[in-house]
């Protein structure tokens, strides 16, 4: 019945048909199909990746092709306090935000996996922060964090009377860092929750029923059934989260621009600062380069998780 959609092949003479036969010759077809994607990715992804690594060892500035300077950029960065501060904050930011996102996201996923009226609507609402442009929600956050008109301060000081002065969210280093982490967790919960919810829904309810009949407590069922079965997807979500939190840019750029006194620069925002407005492309590339070991670790983690999942499920990959 599906065949009805395939038009009848009229007998065509072989001369007019050489094009058809060319397209049925598999190596050519594979080549043609892969060409657009490979062209785009090689030109704008692979080549710049290599170019970026090369640039890290040059003194390229805007409008001036660099020459090889060896490790000079890195030698400079090793003595640069602001760079180390950015590395330090990137690690703190990634660790705290990832743990927060995963914990809260897992909790939310478990809640949404319960029998619930309007579950589809809840799921739709939950994903909203992830759909909306990050910069725009970040601007909303900087308004929420405003020193004079913060709604949180208003609630705590004027309504609840829990404090006697307004919060200074973004004015000093640690509060600013924590405020950014909070905004990042807010933005990250939906992705984690919805991905893990999809994982939870593949766990057969009969496992839980059997465990209940055997007298397992809720915690035991979570620890010995849910968690092990969720582990592969949890590992992938974790590595995604690590990579994209570590390389976050928008949130910091929109809310603090790295301030106060460079305390909230991430490696990505510092690289931008030095490279684009500052003009030192080589130095910026070196800062960006320093992110690569971290990203490779996270990627390897994700790949191992993926391989392990294949092995577990006994899937053969064709």
Partner 1 sequence: MTDRLEAVEWESPARRAVFLYVPLACFVFILLFPFYWMAITAFKPNAELYNYKAYNPFLIASPTLDHFYRLVFETTYLCWLLTTMAVAIAATLLSLTSSALAAYAIARLRFKGSRYVALAVYLGYLVPPAILFIPLSTVVYRLGLFDTPFALILVYPTFLVPFCTWILIGYFKSIPVDLEDSALVDGATRLQVLRWIALPLAAPGLISAGLFSFMLSWNEFVYALAFIQSSEKKTVAVAILTELVSGDVYQWGALMAGSLLGSLPVAIFYGLFVDYYVSALTSAVKE
59: Cβ contacts below 8 Å, ≥ 6 apart: 66, 67, 69, 72, 73, 282
For residue 57, the minimal CB distance to partner 1 (Å) is 12
Q: Binders of partner 1 among 229-258, rule CB under 8 A?
A: 233, 236-237, 240, 243-244, 246-250, 253-254
Q: Binders of partner 1 among 117-136, rule CB under 8 A?
A: 119-120, 122-129, 131-136
Name which of 97 and 288 has its Cβ closer to partner 1: 288
Name which of 175 and 221 has its Cβ closer to partner 1: 221
Residue 290 · residue 80 · CB < 8 Å: no
Exactly one of 276, 304, 308, 312 binds partner 1 (CB under 8 A); that residue is: 276
Which span sits near partner 1 by CB under 8 A: 69-77, 81-89, 101-109, 171-179?
A: 101-109
Separation between Cα atoms, residue 238 and residue 301, nearest integer Å: 9
Exactly one of 96, 144, 216, 229 binds partner 1 (CB under 8 A); that residue is: 144
Closest CA to 29 of 19, 41, 39, 16: 19
For residue 81, the minimal CB distance to partner 1 (Å) is 22
Q: Does 307 bind partner 1 (CB under 8 A)?
A: no
* Per-residue contact string for residues 62-91; x = within reach of partner 1 by CB under 8 A: ------------------------------
Closest CA to 247 of 192, 294, 297, 303: 294
Which neighbouring-strand residues pair with 68?
A: 58
Task: Give me 180's structure tokens.
Answer: 């950014």
CA distances 254 to 135, 269, 304, Å, are 6, 10, 35
Q: Binders of partner 1 among 148-177, rule CB under 8 A?
A: 149, 151, 154, 158
Residue 167 · residue 191 · CB < 8 Å: no
Residue 183 · residue 196 · CB < 8 Å: no
Which span sits near partner 1 by CB under 8 A: 71-79, 91-99, 172-180, 208-216?
A: 208-216
């Amino acid at each position: 019945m599906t065949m009805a959609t395939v038009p009848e092949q009229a007998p065509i003479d072989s001369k007019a048909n050489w094009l058809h036969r060319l397209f049925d010759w598999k190596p050519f077809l594979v080549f043609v199909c892969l060409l657009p994607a490979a062209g785009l990715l090689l030109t704008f992804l692979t080549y710049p990746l290599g170019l970026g690594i090369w640039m890290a060892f040059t003194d390229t500035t805007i409008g001036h092709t660099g020459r090889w300077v060896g490790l000079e950029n890195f030698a400079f960065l090793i003595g640069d306090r602001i760079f180390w501060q950015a590395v330090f904050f990137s690690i703190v930011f990634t660790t705290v935000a990832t743990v927060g996102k995963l914990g809260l996201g897992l909790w939310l996923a478990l809640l949404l996996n319960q029998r619930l009226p309007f579950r589809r609507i809840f799921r739709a609402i939950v994903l909203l922060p992830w759909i909306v442009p990050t910069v725009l929600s970040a601007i909303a956050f900087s308004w929420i964090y405003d020193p004079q008109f913060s709604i949180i301060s208003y609630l705590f000081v004027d309504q609840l009377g829990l404090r006697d002065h307004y919060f200074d969210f973004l004015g000093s280093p640690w509060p600013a860092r924590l405020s950014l982490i909070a905004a990042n967790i807010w933005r990250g919960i939906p992705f984690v929750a919805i991905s893990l919810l999809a994982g939870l829904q593949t766990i057969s309810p009969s496992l839980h029923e059997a465990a209940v009949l055997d007298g397992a407590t809720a915690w035991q069922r979570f620890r010995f059934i849910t968690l092990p079965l969720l582990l592969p997807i949890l590992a992938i979500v974790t590595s995604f989260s690590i990579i994209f939190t570590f390389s976050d840019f928008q949130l910091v750029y929109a809310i603090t621009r790295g301030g106060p006194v460079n305390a909230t620069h991430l490696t990505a925002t510092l690289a931008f600062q030095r490279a684009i407005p500052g003009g030192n492309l080589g130095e910026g590339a070196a800062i960006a380069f320093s992110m690569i070991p971290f990203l490779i670790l996270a990627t390897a983690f994700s790949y191992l998780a993926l391989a392990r999942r294949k092995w577990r499920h006994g899937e053969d990959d064709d």
